[in-house]
Amino acid sequence: MSQGLSSFNPQQPKTAAMGERMAEVKGRSLWADARKRFVQNKAAMASVVILVLILLFAFFGHYLTPYDNETIDWNVLGNVKTEGKPSLANQHYFGFDDSGRDLFSRVVQGTQISLMVGLVGALIAVLVGTVYGAVAGYVGGRVDSAMMRFVDIAMSIPYMFVLILLLVVFGRSIVMLFVGIGLTAWLDMSRIVRGQTLSIKNKEFIEAAVATGVPTFTIIRRHIVPNLLGVVAVYATLLVPQMILTESFISFLGLGVQEPLTSWGALISEGVSTMNYGTLWQLFFPLGFFVVSIFAFFFIGDGLRDALDPKDR
């Protein structure tokens, strides 16, 4: 009896519970911890839901209307102000544009192109800037100095001027718009990646890789770049709205996508030119999609930045 009492320890259940919690915390990776904090960010999660809905609208919106984006309704063309208003009865949900075309299908196509320009342009900028900055920061010396002087010279030239020059010289095609926007936006990314690489290159695991004879570009590919993914992911989410804004500005000037294609910027430009006639819906719908998407990307970027901030861990 006394032996049984002596073997009983009231602290055992508490110690066991603490051990389980410590094992759970110890077993959680930094990425899992960042994902948990990102999910707890209500603004970021709401923005993710909104962007998913906008993507679904872009890919499947044309199934919701029987009209395409090019057919002109000649009965409405002469009196868009009174007969071209949004209507659920005739399935012209966003009404007509000033040319008598269904605005809903036009906004669907504009959403496709604007998001494509933003995502593809950001992808090109991220790939070029990450590789360029990682090589410059890790190799160092004269190579780093020469590469970054080129970046400084390129940044001194207004990127909008370079983009307009590329479109004028090589033609105003949708592919050239993707490439031009991406190739004028990688400079900031390269500087950010270079700075992060300089702080990583002297870490113990990099020195161990060098000591074991791992080639330079293998170290960059397998050790440097993976440790930059957090910073790159945050900047990429902030770069997408910048690309969309650039495309919208170019299209607003008439140098972006050409008819019969359209984008948010082109639709906003058309809406602004006709708003004095009382057809405000032509401006409201594309501008609404544009503004909501921009804010959603910014909130996601803020959420990723807070989730990946090492000071908050």
CB within 8 Å of 254: residues ≥ 6 apart: 269
Is the pLDDT confidence value at 104 over 70? yes
Structure tokens at 168: 């004028």
Q: 41-60: per-residue pLDDT in tens?
A: 898 899 999 999 999 999 99
- Report pLDDT digits (tens) over 126-149: 889 999 999 998 888 899 999 999
Distances in Å between the alpha carbon of 289 and those of 2, 57, 64, 255, 268?
76, 11, 17, 21, 10
* Cα-based distances in Å from 159 to 130, 149, 182, 191: 19, 17, 11, 16
Q: What is the pLDDT of residues 228-246, one digit of tens each?
A: 877 888 888 888 888 888 8
Which of 267-271, 279-283, 292-296, 306-310 ranks highest by mean pLDDT?
A: 292-296
pLDDT band at 303 (very low <50, low <70, confident <90, very high): confident
Q: Report the pLDDT value the prediction gives residue 15, as an integer from 0 to 100.
A: 52
Q: Which pLDDT score, from 0 to 100, does residue 105 have? A: 92
Q: Quickly list H helices, 253-280.
A: 264-274
Instruction: Give the model's pLDDT for residue 226.
Output: 81
Domains, in order of start, for the chain: 47-60+87-312 (1.10.3720.10)
Q: Which of 32-36, 40-44, 94-98, 297-301 has the lowest mean pLDDT?
A: 32-36
CA 71 from centroid of its chain's CA atoms: 32
Q: What is the rounded CA–CA span in Å between residue 20 and residue 95?
A: 60
Cα–Cα distance, 109 to 59 (Å, whole number): 9
Q: What is the pTM of this model?
A: 0.77
CB distance 107 to 94 below 8 Å: yes
Whole-number average pLDDT of the chain: 81
